[in-house]
């Protein structure tokens, strides 16, 4: 009888814990500092994003490649993909703290040619993922940011660029927060149904 009571209490506790908390904050503005591997070796990317809707962000990148004395100044869009809760369902990781995305931009490369800087049109597109360890939206780790870039004057053809770094966030993207909360409530509803089944099964055990 004690085991039956303990099992029911445990399942009830799990249901209560699942209902706590709120969706991770999505900042309206972020400033990113990344170290990257690109033309001429190691470079840096100082980027900024501004949320214009729940999923779309305006993005600006300043890529600096000391090895070739070249820069890329690009502007474009970043699109937030659905959270990866299905893939992380059987782990201890909180899927709401991960944000995968795709991005594309166009701009100007600035490279030296016989002592004079020359401008070219450059483009790049790719994908990445951020992880917010605190869930506040104020600090995130850019786990990966991968791009294929066309940077005339620095390289020929398409060049892979891989980077990682940190992001500082300000403000709140209310539309994204509302969307994330709806998704969260749907996940909680499914979890409650699963827990209720376990609770009924535990209550029937002697």
pLDDT at 187 over 90: no
Instruction: Identify the residue with better confidence: 194 or 53.
Output: 53
Residues 123-152: what's their mean pLDDT?
Answer: 95
Higher confidence at residue 93 or residue 177?
Answer: 177
* Sign of the alpha-carbon dihedral angle for 86, 94, 78, 149: negative
* Complete DSSP assignment for 62-118: EEEEGGGTEEEEEEEEEEEPPP-TTTTTTSSS-GGGEEEEEEEEEEEEEEEETTEEE
Q: So where are the chain's domains? A: 1-23+175-206, 26-171
pTM here is 0.80
pLDDT recorded at residue 159:
94
The pLDDT tens digits of the residues spanning 17-56 come to 443 445 678 899 999 999 999 998 999 999 999 999 999 9
Average pLDDT over the chain reads: 85
Top-tier CATH class for 26-171: mainly beta
């Amino acid at each position: 009888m004690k085991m039956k009571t303990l099992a029911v209490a445990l399942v009830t506790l799990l249901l209560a814990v699942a209902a706590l908390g709120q969706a991770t904050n999505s900042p309206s503005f972020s400033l990113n500092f990344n170290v990257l591997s690109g033309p001429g070796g190691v470079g840096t990317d100082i980027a900024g994003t501004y949320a214009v809707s729940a999923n779309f962000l305006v993005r600006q990148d300043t890529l600096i490649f000391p090895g070739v004395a070249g820069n890329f100044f690009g502007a474009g869009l970043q699109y937030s993909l659905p959270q990866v809760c299905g893939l992380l369902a059987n782990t201890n990781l909180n899927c709401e703290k991960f944000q995968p995305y795709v991005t594309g931009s166009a701009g100007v490369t600035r490279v030296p040619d016989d002592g004079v800087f020359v401008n070219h049109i450059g483009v790049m597109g790719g994908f990445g993922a951020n992880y917010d360890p605190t869930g506040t939206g104020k600090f995130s780790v850019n786990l990966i940011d991968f791009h294929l870039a066309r940077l005339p004057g620095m390289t020929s053809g398409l060049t892979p660029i891989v980077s990682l770094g940190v992001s500082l966030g300000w403000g709140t993207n209310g539309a994204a927060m509302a969307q994330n909360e709806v998704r969260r409530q749907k996940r909680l509803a499914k979890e409650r149904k699963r827990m209720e089944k376990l609770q009924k099964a535990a209550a029937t055990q002697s």
